[in-house]
Structures are given as structure tokens and as C-alpha cells.
Amino acid sequence: MPQENNLQNIDGIIGRIRLVAFDFDGVFTDNMVYVLEDGSEAVRCFRSDGIGLHKLKKLGIETVIISTEANPVVSARARKLKIHCIQDCHDKRAALEDIAREKNIGLHEIAFVGNDINDLPCLECVALPIVVQDAYPEAARTALYQTRRPGGRGAVREICDLFESVLTHKGLNNED
């Protein structure tokens, strides 16, 4: 299972990453949904993810959420975190490639964070495929890094802290 043994191997990859793209459900959330009697939904997120995303921004790394869900809760959380969000997306890889083209970033400069089989096309085409600790086995098999923390319980923050640690330790700040 990808973890500590791969950390040394991915340090060089992290140094080249210019964009981290995230799935939402199961990554920012614990993959659970509260359905209220009026049909509206609510999810649980990890508040410290915002501090982590701010760290990536300070390092010069762009971020985006790409979600298949068409749910106002996704865009509300993205607004709060000040992160660009694409939702109701049925072809995540095409969306990721469009973003890369718009920003003039190659797939070899992208990390993608996912947790399930609908994330496979993105996980399989980027330089650094990352999954959360509780990812489905099909997704986990594609990862170079698997978080210690499950989705919605600190996985996003863990990833951001990893990037900060690698980039500040090696002096590879992408702002230059």
C-alpha cells in the first residue's frame, strides 16, 4: 500500500506540482450525507482544511475541486474555502485537462486527490495520484500516496502539510 516508503520517491514529484485537484465527496467529506426532510442535504467537513489550502496558495500551488455532484453544499464549501469548483461534472478527466490547458499546466505538473472509481481517469493521468485512507481498493491501487487520515477527517490538511514540508524543506517554493 502506498505510504511512507513512497514519500522519498514522491518528493521530487511534489517539487514539480503546480496544481492540486480534489474530488469533494469522500475527500473533503467523510462520504456521508445528511438528508433533511425537505430533501436538502448537508455534509460534514474538516475545518482545518482551509488552513491547509491557504498553505498551498502561499507555496504558489493552484487548487480546484472537481465533483460529479450537483449540490449547493459543494459550491458553498468551495466559496468558503476560496477554491475554484467545477461540479455536476460527468467527465472529470476532460474537466481536468481543460483546466490544465487554460492554466498552461501539463498533466505531469498535477496531483489529483480522490477516493472512488469515478476518480480513476484523473488518478491515472496525473503525475501524483493521491487517495484518502478510506479510499475504495480500485482507487487505492492507482495511488502513489495514500493519506493516513480518512476523507473528511483531515486528509486534505495532511496532503497540504505534506506539500509544505517537502517544498519548504527542499527550498522548492513554486512562487519563484
Helix (H, G, I), strand (E, B) or coil at 19: strand
Q: Which class is domain 4-170?
A: alpha beta
What cell numbers appear for 167 in the block? Answer: 517544498
Mean pLDDT on 165-170: 86
Share of the chain above pLDDT 70, in %: 91
Residue 175 confidence (pLDDT): 47
Q: What is the pTM of this model?
A: 0.91
**pLDDT tens sequence across 1-33:** 444 446 568 899 999 999 999 999 999 999 999
Mean pLDDT of the chain: 92
**pLDDT tens sequence across 86-133:** 999 999 999 999 999 999 999 999 999 999 999 999 999 999 999 999
Based on its alpha-carbon atoms, the radius of gyration of the chain, rounded to whole angstroms, reads 15
Q: Which amino acid is at 161?
A: D
Residue 6 confidence (pLDDT): 60
Residue 74 confidence (pLDDT): 93
Residue 139 confidence (pLDDT): 97
CA-based end-to-end distance of the chain: 34
